Amino acid sequence: MIKEFNINFTKKEISLIYQKVKDYPWDSIADLEKWDHGTNKSYLKKLCKYWVSDFNWKKHEKLINRFSNFKTNVDDIDIHFIEEKGSGKNPKPLLLMHGWPGSIVEFLEIIKPLAHPEDFGGNIDDAFTVIAPSLPGFGFSGAPKKPIGPRKIAKIFNKMMTENLKYKNYYAQGGDWGATIANWLGYDHSNNCKAIHINCLTMRHPDGPQTDEEKVWQKKFDKDQIIQDGYRTQQATKPQTLSYAMIDSPVGIAAWIIEKMHGWSDIKDDNIESVYSKDVLLANIMVYVLTNTFNTASWIYFGRREEGGRYFPKDFKKITIPTGIAIFPKEMSEWPPISYVERIFNVKQMNKIIEGGHFAALEKPRLLIEDVRLFFKENL
The DSSP annotation for 283-312 comes to: HHHHHHHHHT-HHHHHHHHHHHHHHTTTBP
Backbone angles phi, psi at 350, to 5 degrees: -145, 100
Strand bridging mode 170-174 / 69-74: unpaired
As a whole number, mean pLDDT of residues 6-35 equals 95
Residue 229 confidence (pLDDT) above 90: no
User: Quick one: pLDDT at residue 232?
Assistant: 87
**pLDDT at residue 67, rounded to an integer:** 98
The CATH number linked to 86 is 3.40.50.1820
pLDDT over 90 (residue 206): yes
Q: Which of 90, 175, 111, 98 is nearest to 377 (CA)?
A: 90
- What is the maximum span of the chain, computed from C-alpha positions, in angstroms? 60
Mean pLDDT of 370-378: 96
Confidence of residue 43 (pLDDT cuts 50, 70, 90): very high
Q: What is the DSSP letter of 272?
A: G
C-alpha angle 275/113/135, rounded to 5°?
A: 70
Residue 224 has a pLDDT of 86
- Residue 73's contacts (CB-CB under 8 Å, 6 or more residues apart) are 1, 79
Does 151 have pLDDT greater than 90?
yes
pLDDT band at 160 (very low <50, low <70, confident <90, very high): very high
Mean pLDDT throughout 234-252? Answer: 93
pLDDT of 78 strictly over 90: yes
pLDDT tens for 325-342 read 999 999 998 999 999 999
Closest residue by Cα to residue 288 from 4, 96, 9: 9
User: Stretch 175-186: mean pLDDT, rounded?
Assistant: 98
pLDDT at 225: 85
Closest CA to 44 of 247, 245, 229, 250: 250
pLDDT at 240: 92
Please provide the average confidence, as pLDDT, over all residues in the chain: 96
The pLDDT, as a whole number, for residue 18 is 97
Q: How far apart are CA 140 and CA 292, in angstroms?
A: 10
- H-only helix segments in 163-228: 177-188, 212-225
Q: What is the pLDDT at residue 233?
A: 86
Residue 15 binned pLDDT confidence (cut-offs 50, 70, 90)? very high
**Given this model, what pLDDT does residue 226 score?**
87
Q: Residue 113: pLDDT band by 50, 70, 90 thresholds?
A: very high
What are 345's strand-pairing partners?
319
Which residue segment(s) compose the domain that 324 sits in? 2-379
pLDDT, residue 230, reads 86
* pLDDT for the residue 33: 81
Cβ pair 375, 353 in contact under 8 A: no
Total number of domains in the chain:
1
pLDDT at 380: 80
Which residues sit opposite 131 in a β-bridge?
83, 95
Q: Are strands 193-198 and 319-327 parallel, antiparallel or unpaired?
A: parallel
